[in-house]
């Protein structure tokens, strides 16, 4: 007897700009992801120093899902997917973002894509904004630092809900909305909110302002969607990365609690429709002059979400440093290595029990159904002599996480809608811009330099995941 409910939504997850390619096809406009060279986007870290320095983020072609989607969805169907999470590229629908009417060719592409999924009984699960927005809105309006974005986004959301309401039941508004809180890093605020910072600007204040406009836009979108069809399930999407105290010293425990508050208050606003007291105090203490109107607060109240989508890859640990009297979370200096868990080649700490902990934490705080819409292991795959890819490390990671997920449902009573591992087919890494950091059950022949035939090939994990789905998680 399976411990997961019947109808559990097994599937896989991707995002438009990381796999579609076809960046200028059928009237698509330029998005933030399309201009992410080191120089233009101000992107830091590996992207400036690494393999694609001086080039565009390799999403212009990516894995050309735009022209291969039928073949790819057939492979997902072969694995037994019940759902497929993707995003709609805003720039296919509104190429510049501020037009009055949408681009019909872009709308048609997603009609065809969703029809192809439904042909196999695969439910599309759709994120409206997954780390991209029309670049025109960044250049012309400053991205989400500008209140006008609310209007542009809700127009986009409205068109999508109306057009696809009979094909798509599960929606999410903003991918990993809380990740933009990493404002020290140029990458997260740029991809989430189209923010570029000038020297000397108060980045943190601008980020919270942008986040507020996004939260209001999300709440308005939820209301629009429900008015268009009460059948629609509209969720938020939170990057879940629990922060443990480095020790049981009370100051470490309090520090971890404060850090969790700063990272997850976004979910409070989405779910409860208001800002928690500790964030209001924080804004006051920092003297942030945020543009938050009475009408905004009403919108937040009226547009609370139906479920929480979450990504889970790793956990973190935090230590209290004596120079931080307010217990204000500073990821760059207070986060420490957790010696009890291992890490991937990219330093992501592997912690399957952290997934069970996260599901319990979220359920305790929000009392809403949960949906794991990302989880996975980025690794460099190598071919065996016979041309096969034996990705036991990926199977091991996923099996251990699925096991903890099942225990959360079975032993802890978590209400879980489904599980869609990230990058079910190899795609461009969001954080590093690399192709070599692969997550897929399906290998795609494309390298960091943009070379390759784009041929698709099943890895060992393909058959393994097929069996997991067929047994509803019994056979790991």
Structure-token pair, residue 221: 């979108």
Question: Whole-angstrom Cα distance, residue 449 to residue 51?
Answer: 8
- Could you say which of 4, 9, 11, 15 contacts ligand BGP (CB under 6 A)? 15
- Angle formed by the axes of helices 460-470 and 392-410, nearest 10°: 20
What binding mask, one character per residue, do residues 238-257 give for ligand BGP by CB under 6 A, x or -? -x------------------
Residue with the shortest CB distance to ligand BGP: 431
Question: Contact, 152 vs 159, CB < 8 A?
Answer: no
Using the minimum distance from each CB to ligand BGP, give the nearer residue, 123 or 374: 374
Paired sense of beta strands 442-444 and 456-458, if any: antiparallel
Using the minimum distance from each CB to ligand BGP, give the nearer residue, 185 or 396: 185
> Nearest approach, Cβ of 278 to ligand BGP (angstroms)?
25
What binding mask, one character per residue, do residues 405-424 give for ligand BGP by CB under 6 A, x or -? -----------------x--
Of residues 315-354, those binding ligand BGP (CB under 6 A) = none
Using the minimum distance from each CB to ligand BGP, give the nearer residue, 33 or 246: 33
What binding mask, one character per residue, do residues 351-380 give for ligand BGP by CB under 6 A, x or -? -----------------------x---x--
Question: Contact, 447 vs 435, CB < 8 A?
Answer: yes
Structure-token pair, residue 83: 């759902």
Q: Which residues contact 360 (CB under 8 A, 6 or more apart)?
A: 408, 412, 414
> Nearest approach, Cβ of 421 to ligand BGP (angstroms)?
11
431 binds ligand BGP (CB under 6 A): yes
> Nearest approach, Cβ of 14 to ligand BGP (angstroms)?
8
Using the minimum distance from each CB to ligand BGP, give the nearer residue, 131 or 135: 131
- Could you say which of 193, 311, 349, 375 contacts ligand BGP (CB under 6 A)? 311
> Nearest approach, Cβ of 182 to ligand BGP (angstroms)?
11
* Integer CA distances (angstroms), 337 to 191, 257, 314, 358, in order: 27, 18, 12, 19
Question: Whole-angstrom Cα distance, residue 47 to residue 135?
Answer: 19
Structure-token pair, residue 35: 């201009």
Q: Which residues contact 469 (CB under 8 A, 6 or more apart)?
A: 10, 79, 80, 81, 82
> Nearest approach, Cβ of 369 to ligand BGP (angstroms)?
20
Euclidean distance between the first and final Cα of the chain, in Å? 14
- Could you say which of 103, 175, 178, 193 contacts ligand BGP (CB under 6 A)? 175
Question: Contact, 129 vs 173, CB < 8 A?
Answer: yes
Question: Contact, 62 vs 19, CB < 8 A?
Answer: yes
- Could you say which of 56, 193, 304, 432 contacts ligand BGP (CB under 6 A)? 432
Task: Identify the CA nearest to 409 among candidates 374, 373, 371.
Answer: 371
Structure-token pair, residue 127: 């994120």
Using the minimum distance from each CB to ligand BGP, give the nearer residue, 11 or 378: 378
Of 112-120, 336-344, 395-403, 430-438: span binding ligand BGP (CB under 6 A): 430-438
Task: Identify the CA nearest to 429 among candidates 345, 364, 357.
Answer: 345
Structure-token pair, residue 219: 């709440």
> Nearest approach, Cβ of 175 to ligand BGP (angstroms)?
5
> Nearest approach, Cβ of 263 to ligand BGP (angstroms)?
13
437 binds ligand BGP (CB under 6 A): yes
Of 40-48, 225-233, 407-415, 431-439: span binding ligand BGP (CB under 6 A): 431-439
Size of the site for ligand BGP (CB under 6 A): 15
Task: Identify the CA nearest to 446 among candidates 425, 464, 431.
Answer: 425
- Could you say which of 429, 443, 446, 448 contacts ligand BGP (CB under 6 A)? 429
Q: What are phi and psi of 323, to 5 degrees?
A: -85, 15
What binding mask, one character per residue, do residues 261-280 give for ligand BGP by CB under 6 A, x or -? --------------------
Q: Which helix (H) or strand (E) holds 163?
A: helix 148-164
Active site residues: 374
> Nearest approach, Cβ of 314 to ligand BGP (angstroms)?
10
Note the residues at the interface with ligand BGP (CB under 6 A).
15, 18, 131, 175-176, 239, 311, 374, 378, 422, 429-432, 437
């Amino acid at each position: 007897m399976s411990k997961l409910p019947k109808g559990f939504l097994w599937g896989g997850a991707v995002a438009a700009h990381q796999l579609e390619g076809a960046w200028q096809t059928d009237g698509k406009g330029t998005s933030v992801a399309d201009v992410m060279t080191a120089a233009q986007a101000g992107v830091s870290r590996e992207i400036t120093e690494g393999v694609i320095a001086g080039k565009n983020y390799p999403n212009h072609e990516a894995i050309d899902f735009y022209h291969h989607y039928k073949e790819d969805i057939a492979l997902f169907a072969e694995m037994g997917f019940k759902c497929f999470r993707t995003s709609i590229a805003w720039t296919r629908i509104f190429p510049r973002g501020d037009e009055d009417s949408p681009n019909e060719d872009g709308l048609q592409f997603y009609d065809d894509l969703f029809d192809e999924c439904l042909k196999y009984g695969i439910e599309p699960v759709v994120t409206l904004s997954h780390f991209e927005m029309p670049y025109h809105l960044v250049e012309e309006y400053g991205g989400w630092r500008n209140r006008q974005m609310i209007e542009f986004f809700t127009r986009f959301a409205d068109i999508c809900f109306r057009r696809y309401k009979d094909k798509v039941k599960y929606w999410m508004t903003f991918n990993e909305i809380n990740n933009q809180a990493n404002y020290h890093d140029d990458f997260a605020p740029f991809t989430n909110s189209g923010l570029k910072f000038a020297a000397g600007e108060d980045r943190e204040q601008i980020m919270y302002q942008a986040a507020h406009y996004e939260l209001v836009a999300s709440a308005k979108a939820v209301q629009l969607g429900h008015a268009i069809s009460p059948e629609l399930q509209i969720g938020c999407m939170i990057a879940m990365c629990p922060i443990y105290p480095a020790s049981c010293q009370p100051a470490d425990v309090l520090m971890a609690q404060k850090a969790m508050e700063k990272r997850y208050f976004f979910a409070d606003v989405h779910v409860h429709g208001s800002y928690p007291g500790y964030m209001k105090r924080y804004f006051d203490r920092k003297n942030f002059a945020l543009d938050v109107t009475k009408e905004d607060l009403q919108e937040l109240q009226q547009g609370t979400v139906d479920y929480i989508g979450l990504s889970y890859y790793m956990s973190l640990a935090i230590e209290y440093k004596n120079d931080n009297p307010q217990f204000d979370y500073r990821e760059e200096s207070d986060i420490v290595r957790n010696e009890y868990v291992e890490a991937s080649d990219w330093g992501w700490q592997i912690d399957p029990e952290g997934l069970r902990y996260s599901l319990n934490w979220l359920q305790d705080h929000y009392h809403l159904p949960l949906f794991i819409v990302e989880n996975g292991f980025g690794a460099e795959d190598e071919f065996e002599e016979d041309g096969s890819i034996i990705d036991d490390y990926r199977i091991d990671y996923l099996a251990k996480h699925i096991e903890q997920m099942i225990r959360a449902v079975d032993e802890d009573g978590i209400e879980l809608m489904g599980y869609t591992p990230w990058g079910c087919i190899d795609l461009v890494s969001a954080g590093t811009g690399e192709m070599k950091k692969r997550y897929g059950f399906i290998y795609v022949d494309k390298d960091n330099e943009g070379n390759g035939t784009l041929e698709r090939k099943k890895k060992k994990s393909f058959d393994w995941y097929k069996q997991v789905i067929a047994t509803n998680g019994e056979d790991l």
